């Protein structure tokens, strides 16, 4: 079973594999919050998954670290390791032999690293027999590596050379950041290198590229030990403000979560009620249109519910105005999946008007056709009802007919304030043809 528990232990999480002195182990244990020690990669893998490590430090006696060096910062002190990840994808650095001369040279490095190098090599006379490395590339399916990739990789290597054999010019020691991952690689294969100083200094150099994993190694200027009291006060104020900011963010996040939950509940409720004007057909649509007319201020009557089975079908709704008892209207409500409305519905309303006249000895003051068309489409892509039959709508209007699109009805009723709804009732009573919200 995997021991991989990403992010649970404090960073930087450092794995030490191979031989280290007891003094080094004691020093590293005091520096890092999470440390793993093992004699081999096999043993290290029993304690921690490679993906959990931030840094891998390789001691003496280790010849292979499998793919571990590719997933974390890697610092190698072992002269036995034969291969390293290269500075760019599909590149690697391999052992190419051993130094044959005593002569060596230093190239430019950041001052902090240069100072350690000078201290390490103050008593060194030669490097004969030290391992040297060369840059190479993985060739996929025998295709060559582009020259620009070779040059880019070489530039990265040369910018981080710690030690070079001068005759011939071969790399003995190096450090660099891989630009594709911002992970550092360092090769220091000789006991002459002060391991504790090099590890801490390299991680300080790399911390700006990986502040999350290497936060403990940020600039020394951030250490309160090297601040004036005024700087410490300002930093304290900054920390307090950051804490206040986080508390405010947490409070806003809580309010946003509560509001999001309320919005979800309201959406569900609206879909079951008001939005039926935009989504429903049949009895559900009739019921919601009825609710709308009631909100506007009309008295409504569901005619079909009063009819006997033997009676002819009539209009869906009748309206009257409590402020104008002699005013009446009949309403036919239709919903269509693809059509935007049918002219046959207008003829049906003419027949319902005749039946109304036979019953009450008067024609209704208004015949209203409410249509919810093209339900397959989102509302903003639907066409105006009977857009290709405007002449029929005009004839319908001349005999007291009004066409109301449910999209307009939704906008008028559910986006309006109470005082607007009272005006809306009079507007409907006075309109014919297409209703204009």
Between CA 244 and CA 250, with CA 245 as vertex, the angle to 5 degrees is: 95
In angstroms, rounded to a whole number, what is the distance separating the alpha carbons of residues 373 and 387? 11
Q: What are the domain boundaries of the chain?
A: 13-226, 276-434
Tell me the DSSP string of 206-256.
HTTT-TTTTGGGS-GGGSGGGS-HHHHHHHHHHHHHHHHHHHHHHHHHHHH
**What's residue 274's pLDDT?**
73
234-240 contact pairs (CB < 8 A, 24+): none
Query: How deeply is 264 buried, as exposed, middle or buried, from its count of CB atoms within 10 A (0-12, 13-18, 19+)?
Result: exposed
Residue 142 has what pLDDT?
Answer: 58
Partners of 132 in beta bridges: 97
| Predicted pLDDT at 94 | 87
Residue 312 confidence (pLDDT)? 75
Q: Which residue has the tokens 């935007």?
A: 340
Q: Find out whether the peptide bond into 293 is cis, omega within 30 degrees of 0.
A: no
CA 28 to chain centre: 38
Q: How far apart are CA 176 and CA 75, in angstroms?
A: 10
User: Which CATH architecture does the domain made up of 276-434 adopt?
Assistant: 3-Layer(aba) Sandwich (3.40)
Beta-bridge partner residues of 334: 371
User: Both tokens of residue 405?
Assistant: 């699109």
Alpha carbon distance, N-terminus to C-terminus of the chain: 67
Q: What is the pLDDT of residue 1?
A: 34
Q: Which residues, including other chains, have CB under 8 Å from residue 288's CB and lie 6 or more apart?
A: 273, 274, 276, 277, 280
pLDDT at 418: 62
What are the pLDDT tens digits along the chain (437 aa)?
344 455 577 888 999 999 999 999 999 998 888 899 999 888 998 888 888 899 999 999 888 887 788 888 999 999 888 888 888 888 888 888 888 888 888 888 888 898 899 989 888 888 889 998 888 887 665 567 788 888 888 899 888 999 998 878 788 999 999 988 899 999 999 889 999 999 999 998 898 888 888 877 766 566 677 778 887 888 889 888 888 988 999 999 999 989 988 888 877 776 676 788 888 889 899 999 999 999 889 999 988 777 776 677 889 999 999 999 899 999 999 999 999 899 999 999 999 999 999 989 999 999 999 999 999 899 889 999 998 898 999 999 998 999 999 999 888 887 656 667 778 888 999 999 999 87
Distance of alpha carbon 355 from the chain centroid: 62
């Amino acid at each position: 079973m995997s021991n991989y528990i990403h992010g649970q232990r404090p960073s930087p999480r450092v794995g030490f594999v191979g031989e280290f002195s007891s003094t080094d182990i004691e020093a590293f244990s005091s520096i890092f919050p999470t440390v793993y020690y093992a004699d081999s990669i096999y043993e290290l893998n029993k304690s921690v998954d490679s993906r959990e490590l931030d840094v891998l430090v390789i001691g003496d006696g280790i010849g292979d670290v499998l793919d571990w060096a590719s997933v974390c910062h890697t610092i190698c002190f072992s002269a036995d390791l034969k291969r390293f990840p290269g500075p760019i994808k599909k590149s690697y650095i391999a052992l190419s032999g051993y130094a044959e001369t005593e002569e060596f040279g230093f190239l430019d490095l950041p001052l902090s690293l240069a100072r350690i190098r000078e201290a390490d090599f103050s008593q060194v006379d030669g490097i004969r027999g030290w391992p040297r490395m060369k840059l190479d590339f993985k060739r996929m399916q025998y295709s060559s590596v582009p020259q620009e990739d070779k040059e880019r990789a070489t530039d990265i290597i040369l910018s981080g050379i710690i030690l070079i054999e001068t005759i011939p010019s071969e790399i003995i020691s190096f450090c660099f950041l891989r630009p594709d991952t911002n992970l550092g690689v360092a090769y220091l294969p000789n006991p002459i290198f002060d391991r504790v100083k090099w590890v801490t200094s390299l991680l300080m150099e790399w911390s700006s590229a990986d502040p999350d994993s290497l936060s403990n190694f940020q600039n020394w200027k951030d250490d309160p030990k090297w601040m004036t009291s005024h700087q410490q006060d300002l930093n304290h104020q900054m920390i307090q403000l950051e804490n206040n900011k986080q508390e405010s963010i947490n409070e806003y996040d809580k309010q946003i979560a509560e509001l999001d939950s309320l919005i979800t509940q309201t959406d569900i409720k609206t879909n079951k009620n008001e939005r039926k004007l935009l989504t429903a057909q049949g009895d559900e649509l009739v019921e919601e249109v009825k609710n709308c007319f009631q909100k506007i201020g009309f008295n409504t009557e569901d005619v079909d519910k009063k009819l006997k089975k033997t009676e002819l079908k009539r209009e869906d709704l009748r309206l009257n105005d409590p402020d104008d008892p002699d005013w009446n209207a009949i309403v036919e409500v239709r919903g269509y999946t693809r059509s935007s409305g049918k002219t046959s519905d207008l003829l049906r309303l003419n027949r319902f008007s005749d039946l109304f006249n036979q019953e009450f000895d008067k024609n209704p003051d208004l015949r209203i056709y409410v249509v919810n068309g093209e339900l397959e489409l989102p509302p903003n892509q639907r066409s105006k009802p009977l857009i290709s039959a405007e002449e029929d709508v005009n004839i319908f209007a001349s005999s007291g007919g009004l066409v109301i699109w449910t999209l307009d009805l939704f906008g008028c009723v559910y986006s309006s304030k109470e005082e607007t709804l009272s005006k809306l009732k009079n507007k409907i009573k006075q309109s014919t043809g297409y209703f204009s919200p």
